[in-house]
Amino acid sequence: MAEQSTPERTPRRSGRALRVAALAGASALTVVLVTSCSSGGGDTVKNSPASAKAASALKPSVPDRIVIPDIKVDAPLDSVGLDAQGVMTEPDFAKPMDAAWYKEGPTPGEKGAAAIVGHMDTPKVPEAVFYNLKKLKKDEKIEVHRDDGSTAVFQVDTVDTFKKDGFPTEKVYGDTHGKAELRLITCGGDLTKDRHWDANVVVFAHLVGQE
């Protein structure tokens, strides 16, 4: 597993931007993923006029499951927080088919950019929960089941791959202007000489309704 560099402090549930960089040597909100996962692409899926309009934000409620039909994800949601250094704790390697919600940020469906992270693979599981995350396409749906019995339904806007040394903090975690948005994050990019991945795959989505 990759080593982590000394992180920056990460704010808790504030409007300030949070920095995420998955893999070795990344700053703040670090999600460490193993180096045996396959390389991700670097293309961006553009928005289209056909995309559904944003729905009104929901009241906060802890998420407990994520369903993404188009890439066959139906997974329990654990939670991750921050360690003493202000770094996001990694998803549990013992549960490679679970994803994890960043509990110091908004709940999915609430105003702001909620974050859900997951492994692409682990040493024992070559295709973990977010293995196919980079295959998501514009307008495909993401469902997040919540503790209050509601399901927040999101629509994909873009799927991007960002180099860790140029991670666009404001783009990913900046002000959503009162809208409820979702970010799904895993490893991606290319392998470096020391067998570390150099990027994050980030899915951007917005709330379109609830069930």
Give the model confidence (pLDDT) of 95-139 as tens digits: 999 999 999 999 999 999 999 999 988 878 889 999 999 999 999
Q: Above pLDDT 70, what percent of the chain?
A: 74
pLDDT number for residue 97 = 98
Mean pLDDT of 59-66: 98
What local confidence, expressed as pLDDT, does residue 18 receive?
35
Judge whether 78 lies within some domain: yes
Q: Across all residues in the chain, what is the average pLDDT?
A: 79
Containing domain of residue 178, as a range? 63-210
Residues 30, 188, 19, CA angle at the centre, nearest 5°?
A: 30
Q: What is the mean pLDDT of residues 137-159?
A: 98
pTM: 0.77
Maximum mean pLDDT: which of 9-13, 102-106, 124-128, 142-146: 142-146
Structural domain contains residue 95: yes
pLDDT in tens, 162-172: 988 888 878 98
Model confidence band, residue 53 (pLDDT cutoffs 50, 70, 90): confident
How many residues are recorded in the chain? Answer: 211
Q: How large is the average pLDDT for residues 15-23?
A: 36
Does residue 57 surpass a pLDDT of 60?
yes
Is the CB of residue 211 less than 8 Å from the CB of residue 151? Answer: yes
pLDDT, one tens digit per residue, over 99-111 is 999 999 999 999 9
Query: Could you tell me the pLDDT band of residue 51, with boundaries at 50, 70 and 90?
Result: low
In a domain, 56, yes or no: no
Residue 96's CATH number? 2.40.260.10
Could you tell me which residue, 45 or 59, shows the higher pLDDT? 59
Q: Is 37 within a domain?
A: no
Residue of 114, 115, 112 whose CA lies nearest to 175: 112
Question: How many distinct structural domains can be found in the chain?
Answer: 1
Q: Is residue 72 part of a domain?
A: yes
Q: In this predicted model, which residue has the larger pLDDT, 26 or 120?
A: 120
In-domain check, residue 147? yes
8 occurs within a structural domain? no
Report pLDDT for 174.
Answer: 87
SS (H, E, C) the chain: CCCCCCCCCCCCCCCCCCCCCCCCCCCCCCCCCCCCCCCCCCCCCCCCCCCCCCCCCCCCCCEEEEEEHHHCEEEEEEEECECCCCCECCCCCCCCCCEEEECCCCCECECEEEEEECCCCCCCCCCCCCCCHHHCCCCCEEEEEECCCCEEEEEEEEEEEEEHHHCCHHHHHCCCCCCEEEEEEEEEEEECCCCCEEEEEEEEEEEEEEC
In this predicted structure, what is the pLDDT of residue 164?
81
According to the model, what pLDDT value does residue 35 have?
27
Asked, for residue 36, whether it belongs to a domain, the answer is no
d(CA 115, CA 182): 6
* Whether pLDDT at 21 is above 90: no
